[in-house]
Amino acid sequence: MPWESIGSCGFGNLRWEQDRILANLQMGIAFLTQVSHPIKAENAKLGIMWTEYETSEGISAYPHIGIWWNSEVMSSPPLNYVCACQNALSVFDSAVDWSAINFDEMRIRFNKESRFDESDEEDEDEDE
C-alpha cells in the first residue's frame, strides 16, 4: 500500500529518545483519530511511517505520521483528508507544551505511585 506523509509532533533526539518520539507520534495519531471522520480501515489507515535517508554514516531513518491507502480502491491518496489531518496535527502540536512532558520523571513517579504492595491485596480480601 502506498503512503502519504501527514507530519510529526513533539520532539526528541532519535538516537537517545526514540521511545519518546514514538509516544509523541502515537498521541498525535490518537488526536487525529478523535477529531477526524472515520475512514474505512480497508481503504486507508493512519500510522507511524519511517522515511529512510542517506547520511555520511550510512542509511538512517526518521519516524513521522502517515496515511496508507489501498491503491486498489483509491487511485490517489485522499488529499482533502491528508490536508485536514496536517492542519489538525499542526494545531495539536502547537497546543501541547512538549517540553513540560518529562517521560523519565513521569516513569519514576508512576512506578512509585503504582507500586504493588501485598498489604493492598489483603485489604481488598477483607472488603469482600
pLDDT of residue 16: 80
If you average pLDDT over residues 12-16, what whole number do you get? Answer: 79
Residue 57 lies in a domain: yes
Residue 127 lies in a domain: no
pLDDT of residue 65: 97
Residue 108 lies in a domain: no
Residue 105 lies in a domain: no
What's the mean per-residue pLDDT of the chain?
Answer: 86
Residue 75 lies in a domain: yes
Cα–Cα distance for residue pair 120/66, rounded to 1 Å: 44
pLDDT grade for 9, boundaries at 50, 70 and 90: very high
Q: Is it the case that residue 25 has pLDDT exceeding 70?
A: yes
Q: Give the number of domains in the chain.
A: 1
Residue 38 lies in a domain: yes
Domain span at 53: 3-98
Q: Which alpha helices (DSSP H) does the chain contain, by range?
A: 18-35, 79-95, 103-113, 118-127
The region of weakest confidence among 16-25, 27-36, 77-86, 99-108 is: 99-108
pLDDT grade for 123, boundaries at 50, 70 and 90: low
The span from the first CA to the last CA of the chain, in angstroms, equals 53
Cα–Cα distance for residue pair 65/6, rounded to 1 Å: 5
Residue 104 lies in a domain: no
pLDDT of residue 77: 84
Please report the DSSP string for 29-61 in residue order: HHHHHHHSPP--TTTEEEEEEEEEEEETTEEEE
Residue 112 lies in a domain: no
